């Protein structure tokens, strides 16, 4: 990046950070939508007293959960890409002397890890995937209840 200006690098860095935030916003919005769909379908299934005619809805809840798990995994992949690009650009700015060294950031990060020794090891994207897989399992359990009741 020898011929690229510092301002261009900063603009490119900002774009990647904005794309990262957009991935997280989209993941959150999708999760909320799928939870609302699951709740609404659950209410309808219970209202119909787990009759056989609601079995397709149970199957749909399962599909919603599987779709959500795949989608949030993809959002994580895209967010990771943008974060890695932003980190590479940050490194470039540090090497050019535009930014100071990251000693203060490293010490703050180390202090954070000391404050949360277990929680910092839990990857947030795994929690989101597990939530969606739980929705899929919930759909299967609704299906099983429909079969037992019928």
Angle between helices 55-95 and 124-149 (to 10 degrees): 180
Q: How far apart are CA 67 and CA 9, in angstroms?
A: 36
Highest averaged pLDDT of the listed ranges 8-22, 57-71, 85-99, 104-118: 57-71
Q: In this predicted structure, what is the pLDDT of residue 99? A: 76
Q: How many CB atoms lie within 10 A of CB 78?
A: 16
Instruction: Report whether 71 contacts 136 (CB < 8 A).
Output: no
Q: How far apart are CA 106 and CA 60, in angstroms?
A: 46
Question: What is the pTM (predicted TM-score) of this model?
Answer: 0.88
């Amino acid at each position: 990046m020898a011929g690229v200006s510092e301002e261009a690098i900063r603009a490119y860095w900002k774009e990647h950070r904005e794309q990262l935030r957009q991935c997280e916003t989209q993941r959150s919005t999708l999760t909320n939508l799928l939870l609302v769909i699951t709740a609404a379908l659950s209410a309808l299934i219970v209202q119909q007293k787990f009759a056989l005619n609601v079995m397709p809805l149970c199957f749909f809840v399962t599909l919603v959960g599987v779709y959500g798990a795949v989608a949030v995994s993809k959002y994580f992949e895209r967010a990771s890409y943008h974060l890695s690009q932003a980190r590479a650009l940050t490194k470039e700015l540090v090497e050019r002397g535009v930014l100071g060294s990251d000693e203060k950031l490293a010490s703050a990060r180390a202090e954070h890890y000391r404050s949360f020794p277990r929680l910092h090891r839990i990857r947030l994207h795994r929690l989101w995937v597990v939530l969606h897989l739980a929705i899929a399992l919930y759909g299967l359990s609704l299906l099983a209840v429909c079969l037992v009741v019928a």
